[in-house]
Amino acid sequence: MKPFSARALIEKTRDKHRLNKEEVQYLVNAYVEGTLNDYHLSAWLMAVYLNGLSREETVWLTHAMRDSGVKVPREAAASFWIDKHSTGGVGDKTSLILVPLVVTVCEKWLGPGAVRIPMVSGRGLGYTGGTLDKLESVPGFSSNLTMEAATRALEQNHFFMMGQTAQLVPADRKLYALRDCTATIESIPLIVASILSKKLAENLDGLVIDLKWGSGAFMHKQEDGRRLGEMLVGVARDSDVDAVAILSRMDEPLGYTAGHALEVQECYEYICDKRRERGLDNVTLALAGWMVSLCSRRKLSVGAATEACKEVLGSSKLEEQFLRMFTAQGGDWEAFQRRRESAQKSLQHLEYRAAKAGFLSRLDAGEMGRLLWEIGAGRDQVDAQIDLDVGLEFHKKVGDAVQAGEKIVSVYHRGADVAQVEVRLGSAIDVGEAAVSGPAWLSEVIDE
Ligand code: URA
């Protein structure tokens, strides 16, 4: 006999009554095992979409999903396990800087082996780029690690960067696919359970969440970002993970580039302290400061931790750690440089220039994301092939003065429809006469 009636559980959520822990666990486990049908879960998901879940129910859902598969095995050592999650945006490349930066600073300030970063990342979907795609633009890099290889990497290098596997949180894979075709993706408790079940399977002590809002983010309004952030932080803390969320703007692309190989090169220049775009600098250092502070179990203030991060930029130790991020998983950095040289020769260049002198007042992230997708850098289906070399370079950012005829954006493409690209850029870029200040990248921190 089945312990619960699926129909009764759907009715409860539909009528705004609370489920208990066993009922939530039953829905997840029975669906993963195949004893509940898609139509049962579809109806329940829609009831959740319409009526929400309480914080307790969201915690139980998150834990049931986390427990549907394996977890990253936790060694006995007293290191602090930390990760960051970003809701994604155009030109968002901070993970590639944060991993080497946080490892380097924690080793220096908190002692050897003080931190572990078990980073399970995704590929880009829609116009938001994925960390794995960027890493894989370095020839030879493999994100396909077995759990044994991932555990070895954590011991030896103190981090790993891998993709989702069939064994990690299978419930999320199944439920996400169902949410996608039942129009229930945009539900805060379902998003929270989806994100955190995967992060909790990493066995973390701390999590820093980068919540982006604006035209190039999946949340357009700050208050939506805040609601999601509060729930993410609350559920993570109820799961014994010290979490904070930072709300940051995504109205213009982050950094000077968008496109996978271009962004890897930009991260290299950033950590070598050769070129640091203001937005990328603000967001990365805020996230890094929080990550290091959490790793010190909050003994180091965020301000002091941020200063410590700034100090190591440009050091040979940080450069070594950055290169190790690729080489530890098979990446060949020299082959990456050869790849870039050959791409520079084979790609076509389109320069978008200012028609008049003034100040750049808009460089719309959403439009730039759509353009990236049109030139082949983004995917609309999880298994679609993408071009890792094409992309955009932003010579000017919002607030910069421009002269008539100066380059604003370069588009590196392979035979895109130039007229269409120019129309897209024209609708995304404004130059005004009045001086404007650049955006305040950081909006608020959720730490309670
Ligand atoms: N990211 C996830 O992993 N899941 C969601 O539901 C939304 C964003």
Question: pLDDT tens, 256-314?
Answer: 999 999 999 999 999 999 999 999 999 999 999 999 999 999 999 999 999 999 999 99
* Most informative mutation of 176, 197, 207 for ligand 1 (most atoms within 8 A of CB): 176
Residue with tokens 């329940």: 44
The pLDDT value recorded for residue 67 is 97
Question: pLDDT tens, 87-135?
Answer: 999 999 999 999 999 999 999 999 999 999 999 987 776 656 689 999 9
What b/e readout covers 54-89, taking b as 16+ CB neighbours within 10 angstroms? eeebbbbbbbbbbbbbebbebeeeebbbbbbbbbbb
Top CATH class, 80-166+179-334:
alpha beta
Instruction: Give the closest residue (by CA) to ligand 1 atom 7.
Output: 191
**3-class secondary-structure state, position 99:** helix
Segment 214-233 shows an average pLDDT of: 94
Q: Do domains 6-52 and 80-166+179-334 have the same CATH topology?
A: no
Closest CA to 118 of 154, 169, 66: 154
The pLDDT value recorded for residue 126 is 67
Report the catalytic residues: 85, 172, 179, 194, 198
Check pocket membership of 191 for ligand 1, CB cut-off 6 A: yes
DSSP class of residue 441 equals -
Atom of ligand 1 nearest to the CA of 185: 6
* Comparison of pLDDT for 378 and 342, the residue scoring more: 342
Flag the least confident range among 70-79, 126-135, 317-326, 329-338.
Answer: 126-135
Residues 339 and 136: their CA atoms lie apart, in Å, by 12
The β-bridge partners of 407 are 353
Q: Are 82 and 207 in contact (CB under 8 A)?
A: yes
Closest CA to 392 of 427, 417, 363, 360: 363
Tokens representing residue 383 in the block = 């298994």
What b/e readout covers 28-52, taking b as 16+ CB neighbours within 10 angstroms? bbbbbeeebeeebbbbbbbbbbeeb
Check pocket membership of 187 for ligand 1, CB cut-off 6 A: no
Instruction: Give the closest residue (by CA) to ligand 1 atom 6.
Output: 191
Give me ligand 1 centre to Cα 37, in Å.
22
Angle formed by the axes of helices 170-181 and 55-66, nearest 10°: 120
> pTM above 0.85?
yes
Check pocket membership of 13 for ligand 1, CB cut-off 6 A: no
Give me ligand 1 centre to Cα 157, in Å.
28
**3-class secondary-structure state, position 247:** strand
Give me ligand 1 centre to Cα 53, in Å.
17
List the chain domain ranges: 6-52, 80-166+179-334, 346-432
Indicate the CATH number for domain 6-52. 1.20.970.10
Question: pLDDT tens, 69-95?
Answer: 999 998 767 899 999 999 999 999 999
Check pocket membership of 195 for ligand 1, CB cut-off 6 A: yes
- Containing 48, the helix (H) or strand (E) segment is helix 38-51
Give me ligand 1 centre to Cα 71, in Å.
18
Check pocket membership of 114 for ligand 1, CB cut-off 6 A: no
Give me ligand 1 centre to Cα 395, in Å.
32
Angle formed by the axes of helices 94-110 and 302-312, nearest 10°: 100
Query: What fold characterizes domain 346-432?
Result: Aldehyde Oxidoreductase; domain 3 (3.90.1170)
Instruction: Give the closest residue (by CA) to ligand 1 atom 3.
Output: 195
